[in-house]
């Protein structure tokens, strides 16, 4: 060739691609027809097809070896060739008239695969190869159509040619990986392009793997299987993550509902009458077993109770509400609820920790006697206090025991 212009690396890569494309089709069809002709009666035909395949591979190797910078020069490399008309479809060659198509090999799990190649013949060969493996294939011949199909329907895998007219495979890959809905879709780059820099670039952008054309059928099957296995693993992890998120959402909603119930059973503040009360509810990050209650026992006495169940969670909250409801209903048999000590003794008998999941609670009880303005308080350890006259006080749940035990 003439050496009027310096070799252009990209133009030389495209030339290798264009020269090897028909050879890849010859190799692919020769392998497929050979597989469809078993038996001794087709031995000579298989041998001829194998010779054709070997000759095509040798020529493809020669093209890869000789069409390199420094060995040849391309004239007119700066002028792109006129676009060639695209074939809309190429029929897959039928099997021989005297030979029935053997039963296809079925993979463990079939996949829906999108084949993207601007050479319809290449799509036809690859489609037939994969459909014999039991997969469902959809061929498209340009990047824009590929992205439109991916947006319209789900696929398990994309086989994407690097060198294509218009939007090339690298741009298609970049857009797939930038799309949040598609970024986890495995993409295997398939091309006759043998420049490692572009292959590495595709892998860096998120391509799952790479296969050169003409591809080895065994290697193709193995890499597709490995990519699909990884996809199923990621899909399983995503499903588990979504299920965990949903479970956490339901649990958070249930805990919020439980916290609202706990807050709802607390007595309302009293802003009029002989006894005035006020309190502030400050929710914590987890449901707990804190509760309190108060109210008139008769015309002369006013009862107060503060309790704290050990630990946190639904169990602690349920136990605290159970104890509080018993106190509010005065449902301890034989207990005078005007006697704080008797109330605590009755609760201790009614709620042994071995019958409530080893949970226990501490409590403080007090009775305010309105006629003589005295308050009688009782702690779990039997210490009794008489406060006269009772001064206004602030009780916080966290320091109740420190102040009254």
**pLDDT greater than 50 at residue 82:** no
Please report, for the chain, the start and end positions of each structural domain, with discontinuous segments joined by +. 9-233, 288-404
CATH topology of domain 288-404: Phosphatase 2c; domain 1 (3.60.40)
Cβ atoms of 90 and 124 within 8 Å: the answer is: yes
**pLDDT greater than 90 at residue 21:** no
Cβ atoms of 367 and 302 within 8 Å: the answer is: yes
**pLDDT greater than 80 at residue 337:** yes
Q: Specify the range with the lowest mean pLDDT, choosing from 61-65, 92-96, 105-109, 233-237.
A: 92-96
Q: What is the mean pLDDT of residues 2-29?
A: 65
Cβ atoms of 170 and 200 within 8 Å: the answer is: no
* pLDDT level of residue 8 (50, 70, 90 thresholds): low
Q: What percent of the chain has pLDDT over 70?
A: 77
**pLDDT greater than 80 at residue 227:** yes
* pLDDT level of residue 84 (50, 70, 90 thresholds): very low
Q: What is the mean pLDDT of residues 172-179?
A: 94
Q: What is the mean pLDDT of residues 316-322?
A: 87
DSSP helix/strand/coil, 147: helix
Confidence (pLDDT) at 265: 82
Cβ atoms of 20 and 64 within 8 Å: the answer is: yes
Mean model confidence pLDDT for the chain = 77
Number of other residues whose CB lies within 10 A of the CB of residue 24: 25
C-alpha count within 13 angstroms, C-beta hemisphere, residue 293: 19
**For residue 389, cis peptide bond before it (omega within 30 degrees of 0):** yes
Contacts of residue 330, Cβ cutoff 8 Å, sequence gap at least 6: 337
9-233 and 288-404, same CATH topology: no
Which residue in 21, 3, 5 sits closest to 13, CA to CA?
A: 21
Q: Kindly report the pTM of this predicted structure.
A: 0.50
Confidence (pLDDT) at 95: 41
Residue with tokens 């301890």: 332
41 or 240, higher pLDDT? 240
Which residue in 218, 163, 157 sits closest to 188, CA to CA?
A: 157
Backbone torsions φ then ψ of 285, nearest 5 degrees: -75, -15
The predicted-structure confidence for 354-402, as pLDDT tens digits, reads as follows: 888 888 888 888 888 888 777 777 655 544 445 455 455 544 444 433 3
Contacts of residue 127, Cβ cutoff 8 Å, sequence gap at least 6: 92, 115, 137, 139
Confidence (pLDDT) at 70: 64
Which residue in 365, 323, 362 sits closest to 342, CA to CA?
A: 365
CATH topology of domain 9-233: Rossmann fold (3.40.50)
**pLDDT greater than 60 at residue 312:** yes
Cβ atoms of 356 and 373 within 8 Å: the answer is: no
CA dihedral (101, 107, 113, 119) in degrees, to 10, reads: -40
**pLDDT greater than 70 at residue 314:** yes
* pLDDT level of residue 104 (50, 70, 90 thresholds): very low
């Amino acid at each position: 060739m003439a050496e009027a212009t310096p070799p252009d690396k990209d133009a030389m890569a495209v030339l290798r691609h264009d020269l090897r494309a028909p050879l890849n089709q010859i190799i692919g069809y020769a392998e497929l027809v050979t597989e469809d002709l078993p038996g001794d009666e087709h031995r000579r035909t298989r041998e001829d097809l194998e010779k054709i395949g070997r000759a095509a591979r040798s020529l493809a190797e020669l093209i890869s070896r000789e069409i390199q910078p420094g060995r040849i020069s391309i004239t007119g490399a700066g002028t792109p060739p006129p676009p060639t008309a695209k074939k809309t479809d190429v029929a897959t060659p039928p099997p021989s008239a005297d030979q029935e198509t053997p039963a296809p090999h079925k993979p463990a799990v079939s996949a829906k695969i999108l084949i993207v190649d601007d050479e319809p013949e290449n799509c036809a060969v690859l489609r037939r190869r994969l459909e014999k493996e039991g997969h469902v294939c959809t061929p498209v011949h340009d990047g824009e159509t590929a992205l439109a199909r991916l947006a319209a329907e789900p696929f398990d895998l994309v086989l994407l040619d690097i060198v294509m007219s218009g939007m090339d495979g690298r741009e298609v890959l970049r857009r797939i990986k930038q799309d949040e809905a598609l970024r986890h879709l495995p993409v295997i780059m398939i091309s006759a392009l043998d420049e490692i820099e572009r292959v590495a670039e595709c892998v860096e952008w998120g391509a799952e793997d790479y296969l050169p054309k003409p591809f080895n059928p065994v290697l193709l099957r193995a890499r597709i299987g490995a990519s699909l296995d990884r996809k199923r693993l990621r899909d399983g992890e995503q499903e588990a993550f979504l299920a965990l998120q949903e479970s956490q959402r339901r649990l958070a909603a249930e805990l919020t509902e439980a916290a609202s119930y706990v807050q709802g059973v607390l007595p309302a503040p009293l802003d009029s009458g002989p006894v005035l009360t006020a309190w502030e509810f400050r929710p914590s990050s987890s449901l707990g077993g804190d509760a309190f209650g108060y109210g008139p026992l008769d015309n002369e006495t006013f009862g107060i109770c503060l309790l704290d169940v050990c630990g946190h969670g639904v169990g602690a909250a349920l136990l605290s509400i159970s104890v509080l409801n018993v106190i509010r209903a005065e449902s301890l048999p034989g207990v005078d609820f005007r006697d704080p000590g008797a109330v605590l003794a009755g609760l201790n008998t009614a709620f042994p920790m071995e019958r409530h999941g080893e949970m226990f609670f501490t409590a403080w009880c007090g009775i305010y006697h309105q006629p003589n303005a005295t308050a009688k308080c009782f702690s779990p350890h039997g210490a009794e206090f008489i406060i006269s006259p009772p001064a206004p006080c602030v009780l916080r749940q966290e320091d109740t025991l420190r102040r009254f035990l």
